[in-house]
């Protein structure tokens, strides 16, 4: 009986980790078309799945390169940084608006109960997402802003010495 309990416990753990990994992966894939950390969330999902599946472990480096490339691209130019900052501020502002829950405007076509439905739950989630996006933006800026310059410098170095 004890051996059976251990087997069941391991199976539950394995399936739970797999479920969380696939959920995070699916969320990341859904977020990829939007500005933000979609590829980074895909990377987290693949990292979780890699603890249980060999096929996921083989994909980690490829997804990591894509995520780092995306992070570097997001801070490559000042217009991209500016648009990202606008997105962060917009997410947080919309989250605060959702939490405050002002009355529905006159142009709202549905019943007032459907205006910003959900209250603090969705509002706090939007605020949290904005804070995470701000953190990713700052991290990307500090760590990846000069990547293209460094690569360009490394490419030219052998040409200058020859």
CA–CA distances in Å: residue 59 to residues 22, 33, 45, 147: 14, 21, 11, 23
Of the listed ranges 34-38, 145-149, 151-155, the least confidently predicted one is 151-155
Q: What is the pLDDT of residue 52?
A: 94
User: In b/e form, how buried is each residue of 70-107, taking b as 16+ CB within 10 angstroms?
Assistant: bbbebbeeeeebeebeebbeebbebbeebbeeeeeeee
pTM over 0.75: no
Dist CA 114 CA 101 (whole Å): 11
Split at pLDDT 50, 70, 90, the class of 150 is very low
Split at pLDDT 50, 70, 90, the class of 152 is very low
Bigger pLDDT: 19 vs 111: 19
Helix axes 38-50, 54-74, angle to 10 degrees: 160
Is residue 153 scored above 70 in pLDDT?
A: no
Q: Which long-range contacts (CB under 8 A, 24 or more apart) does 76-82 make?
A: 76/145, 76/148, 81/137, 81/141
Mind listing the pLDDT tens digit for each residue in 57-82?
999 999 999 888 887 887 888 888 89
For residue 2, give both structure tokens: 């004890």
């Amino acid at each position: 009986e004890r051996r059976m309990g251990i087997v069941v416990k391991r199976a539950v753990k394995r399936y739970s980790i797999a479920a969380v990994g696939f959920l995070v992966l699916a969320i990341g894939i859904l977020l990829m078309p939007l500005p933000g950390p979609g590829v980074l969330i895909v990377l987290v999902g693949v990292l979780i799945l890699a603890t249980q599946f060999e096929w996921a472990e083989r994909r980690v480096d490829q997804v990591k390169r894509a995520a780092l490339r995306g992070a570097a691209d997001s801070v490559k130019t000042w217009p991209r940084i500016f648009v990202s900052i606008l997105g962060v501020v917009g997410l947080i502002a919309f989250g605060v608006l959702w939490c405050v829950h002002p009355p529905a405007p006159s142009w709202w076509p549905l019943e007032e109960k459907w205006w910003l439905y959900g209250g603090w739950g969705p509002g706090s989630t939007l605020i949290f997402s904005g804070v995470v996006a701000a953190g990713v933006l700052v991290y990307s800026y500090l760590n990846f802003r000069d990547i293209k310059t460094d690569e360009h410098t490394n490419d030219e170095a052998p040409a200058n010495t020859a």
